[in-house]
């Protein structure tokens, strides 16, 4: 990858945010990488893959997956202390993924109501990630990811076992 140190740090914290929330919500982590599996136009963040798969109609999982989707941009925002154009773009993508998870679960509410719930979920994730212990965990994952470029689920668990 040919990115500046700042760009790499943003990607690492973004992906660490996803991994942390997947672990916290019991979804497991299969892998975390700073290189995207399928680059998205305008966004080249990495990829974090959960152990569990979201299944259509599984409402009990939808909120967990939505929180995991939102945690990447929340970590990036907390790292920067602000929303800039790049982090807003990441947030837009993560919010769309969270929305897709909620709809996949069978949530067919009005768009505005669903958007309000996703916004509340993002605020909840932001509150969680800003706790010193939680941020310390995300930071540990991010720096391990920066050092290696990718982590297996087993490596993530080893890092998290210390917390």
The number of folded domains in the chain is: 1
2-17 pLDDT tens trace: 456 888 999 999 999 9
131-151 pLDDT tens trace: 999 999 999 999 999 999 999
Residue pair 117/95 in contact (Cβ under 8 Å)? The answer is no
Considering the entire predicted model, what is its pTM? Answer: 0.89
Alpha-carbon gap, residue 19 to 71, rounded angstroms? 8
> Which domain CATH number covers 11?
1.20.58.760
Q: Which residue has the tokens 């109609």?
A: 57
Supply the range of the domain harboring residue 85.
Answer: 5-161
């Amino acid at each position: 990858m040919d990115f500046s140190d700042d760009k790499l740090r943003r990607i690492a914290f973004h992906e660490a945010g996803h991994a942390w929330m997947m672990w916290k919500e019991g979804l497991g982590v299969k892998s975390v990488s700073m290189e995207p599996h399928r680059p998205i136009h305008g966004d080249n963040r990495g990829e974090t893959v959960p152990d569990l798969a979201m299944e259509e109609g599984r409402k009990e999982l939808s909120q967990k997956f939505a929180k995991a989707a939102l945690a990447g941009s929340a970590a990036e925002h907390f790292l920067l202390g602000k929303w800039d154009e790049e982090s807003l773009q990441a947030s837009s993508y993560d919010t769309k993924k969270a929305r897709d998870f909620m709809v996949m679960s069978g949530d067919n509410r009005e768009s505005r109501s669903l958007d309000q719930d996703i916004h509340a979920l993002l605020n909840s994730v932001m509150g969680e990630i800003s706790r010193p212990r939680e941020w310390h965990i995300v930071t540990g994952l991010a720096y391990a990811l920066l050092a290696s470029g990718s982590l297996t689920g087993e490596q993530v668990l080893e890092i998290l076992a210390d917390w």
